[in-house]
Amino acid sequence: MKLTWLGHSAFRLETGSNVILIDPFLSGNDKFTGSVDDAAQGCTHVVLTHGHDDHTGDAFDICQKTGAKLIAVYELALYMNAKGIENIDPANPGGTLAQDGFDVSFVKAFHSSATMIDGKPVYLGAACGVVIRAEGESIYHMGDTEIFSDMALINEVFAPTVGLVPIGDRFTMGAKTAAMACKRYFNFRTVVPIHYGTFPIIDPDPSKFQAQMEGQNVVVPEIGGDVAL
């Protein structure tokens, strides 16, 4: 298994014959300097946590070019289907989708989810976190969220070993609450901070989170760098 951070909340996960992209916000992210085509090479699945542009990103183009299956909450999947993506697999929080070689479970997150059409916000279903289980690992991508006590149930049900944790503040948890969530509710072997440094109005770097997480295994890869699992 290979996990690569592509900046912001975007990841490439390679497991068996599958290449999974999570929240592939690439061409719109000035901090991502790689090639979208390279990042999407061999993509078989695109998993979205919610419908904001900094998470859907290049999902539509990647699915069209590669034929990858789009996995998303019901309303967002239908929205992408209406735009022309035929290969969709919709779900909702509490549901698990078994794929060939891995499974994806949707869990709750506390956030909003919409896109702008003709200057008006269009609702795209619940914002979610996702848990991907493959090769004995349980990877929890929190999406965009605040801290909430039901994280304890997510840990009890899925026992995630790797946490992909938003820390940027303003739209998600900040350093203090993100660290509290990790230490109070989970027993992560590896924690990767995400959703920081992309825009001027969120925290520019993970230093405050690292300080709050002293003694924990926090991994901060370079954009385009792999995460040791």
Question: For the chain, which domains are there?
Answer: 2-213 (3.60.15.10)
Quick one: pLDDT at residue 78?
98
Asked whether residue 215 carries a pLDDT value surpassing 90, the answer given is no
User: Could you tell me the pTM of the whole model?
Assistant: 0.98
What is the spatial distance between Cα 114 and Cα 104, in angstroms, rounded to a whole number?
22
Q: Residue range 164-179: average pLDDT?
A: 98
What is the spatial distance between Cα 167 and Cα 176, in angstroms, rounded to a whole number?
8
Quick one: pLDDT at residue 176?
98
Cα dist from 196 to 137, 185, 211, whole Å:
25, 22, 15
What is the spatial distance between Cα 227 and Cα 113, in angstroms, rounded to a whole number?
28
Q: Encoding tokens for residue 68?
A: 């990858």
Asked whether residue 229 carries a pLDDT value surpassing 90, the answer given is no
Quick one: pLDDT at residue 171?
98
Q: Residue range 197-225: average pLDDT?
A: 96
Angle 175-185/151-158 helices, nearest 10 degrees? 40
Asked whether residue 34 carries a pLDDT value surpassing 90, the answer given is yes
User: For the segment 46-95, what is each residue's pLDDT rounded down to a tens digit?
Assistant: 999 999 999 999 999 999 999 999 999 999 999 999 999 999 999 999 99
